[in-house]
A and B are shown apart, each in its own frame.
Chain A
Amino acid sequence: MNMVALRMLMGDKLKFIGLVAGLAFATLLITQQASILVGMAKQTQTFIDETRAAGGPDLWVMDPQVEFSEDAKPLSDTALYRVRGIEGVEWGVPLYKGWLKGRLPDGTLLTVIIVGVDDATLIGAPTEVRAPARVEDLRRDRAIFVEERDLGTKFQMSRLKSGPRALRIGDSLSINDVEVTVVGTHRQSPSFFWDPVIYTTYSRALRMAPPERRLMNFVLAKVKPGYAIEDVKLRIERATGLVARGNDEFKRVTSGYILEKTGILINFGMAVALGLVIGLLVAAQTLYNFTLDNLRHFGALKAMGAGNTRLIRMMLVQVGAVGAIGYGIGLGAACIMGRIIAKTDLAFIMDWQVPALAAVALTGILIISGALSLTRVLRLEPAIVFRT
């Protein structure tokens, strides 16, 4: 009878296509929006990921009021020495991060994110430095690194007398009236924050920063082998009164803060909910109409000896088939969109949880839609077949 159920379903091509299209659209909307949300969440963590890759700190020590990775709350310089002195800390290095004003050679003013890494060890410097530059070039006089793709985009100069052109290696910029020179470029994953990131040494970054008593933002610390990160974290917190966060914890805190405070979570949540509602409405209405149109046939099947269990199985087959096809098409379309988006800086990451979420949502839609139709079929009197 399963084949009978499928033929019944596909016999009404318009309704079948409508059902599949509705479910595919719902799947597409849910997976696409959820993937963008996951992508954005990951992009908020770019700086932590890049820094972790560049030297591998186990702990980020920061002011207790810091709520995300770009939240520059200054620490006393003594914090660095206190962290270094705690049992279980292999090394501790300072990190500066701050938004500063920059001026391009053509006079264009822009806001840049300055990252100042430890002069001696260069821990925190970008890992993917583009040849011929080497990471050690950061120690050269007035040296800065910029992101390779930013040269012709965020650093594009359009007011030069010689005509518009991209920033180049060797060009000089002014950051807070401190002259710096681009000595190399690096590549890094797209970040949630639009402003271009400039890497330099910690001491040079302090010269660029506005004069304040406290300028260091983070102490990056490595835990000695044989010590538990959690134990050292607690020791640091107890000894300094600061907060020490592991990489994953800091990523989680950063994503949570940004997604929540910017309203992104609510907006994308609403888009996902909209996908659910649209899918539910389309599927429920079409499936119910399909059932109503076939009520006489279900009645005839009942009269001929098909019991409720068999009819439930038939409807499960029908609902399962449209669900699987709609889900497949919607997921396929989302993957295609993802491939296209992947060529840009836009956020789109489809972890396994995203299709799983869509599958759960679609199952919910189908259960509700199917239940409405099934109720009608189960209540159906087989005697309906003798009424004209």
Chain B
Amino acid sequence: MLLTNHTTSSHRAPPSQGLAVHCRGVVKTYQTASTKVVALRGVDLDIHLGELMMLVGPSGCGKTTLISVIAGILNRDEGDCTVFGQDLDRISTRERTRFRGQNVGFVFQQFNLLPALTAAQNVSVPLLINGARESHAVKQARDMLARVGLGDRTHSYPRELSGGQQQRVAIARALIHQPRLIVCDEPTSALDHDTGHVILRMLKNVALDDKKALVIVTHDSRIFGFADRIARMDDGHISDITSPATEPAASAH
């Protein structure tokens, strides 16, 4: 293991001292019939409230596995990991599902919008999952879409929207239920440079406050400047954590 949390203390101070995510020695192995792949080899990571943390690194280094563990959609094999003080491996599947529904917002690389639903209906899904009435959920979804600049596209279907607009719908969906942790997987990889910047700016402005944390997995060095801290991963480890000022592409911000 290359990194422990004491290495993070030398970097830029997080905006808030409260911890959203606290992971120590996280190990995750994928086992198939013939092969065994160690995706995480003892990862230590803290993510603070009010912080935008980026996880970067080459393909296959374990970024996606790590956010899957953090978001509670994948069980770890070893180590400790708490999200807002809750160890998600120590609660039942039902409780973990409910926890995700209430506390975690997701932005996916391929947006994952339901093609048969309008933008407003897509955005309303997390509220519906949490038991809201449809009329109330859709009304709130329209307001949220207005906040991300799509107030005039609430009735549009995903196929009628550009990539950037779809990602904004996905962001609105990730935020509508006021989650405390927002997890984004390559949110700009399907977008052009300018649109990617607009999306990141909006994400940071709309999503982040001192009661929330934002984790973004990305390859896109042009958006590193939006991060409060950047954790670089390699072969299942976090090799270092830096602030964007030290990153070569930080000027893009």
The chain A residues found within 8 Å of chain B, CB to CB, are: 1, 3-4, 7-12, 296-297, 299-307, 310, 381-383, 385-388
Contact = CB atoms under 8 A, between A and B. Distances in A.
Q: Select the residue from B67, B102, B110 with max chain A CB neighbours within 10 A.
A: B110
Contacts of B98: 305, 307
A304 B116 contact: no
B115 A11 contact: yes
A307 B185 contact: no
B2 interface: no
A300 B117 contact: no
B101 A306 contact: yes
Given A3-B134, A11-B115, A304-B106, A387 B101 contact: no
B126 interface: yes
Contact of B128 (A4, A296, A302): A4
Nearest to B114: A297
Nearest to A11: B116
Contacts of A385: 73, 106, 108, 112, 185
A12 B74 CA distance: 30
B116 A307 contact: no
B97 A307 contact: yes
21 contacts: A1-B129, A3-B134, A7-B114, A8-B117, A11-B117, A296-B110, A297-B114, A300-B108, A302-B73, A303-B73, A303-B100, A305-B97, A305-B101, A305-B102, A307-B94, A307-B98, A383-B68, A385-B112, A386-B108, A386-B109, A387-B64
A304 B126 contact: yes
B145 interface: no
Contacts of B115: 11
A121 B144 CA distance: 89
A386 B218 CA distance: 12
Contact of A310 (B104, B108, B110, B129): B129
A304 B93 CA distance: 13
B128 A1 contact: yes
Given A4-B114, A383-B73, A385-B106, A304 B68 contact: no
B17 interface: no
Contact of A388 (B99, B109, B114): B109
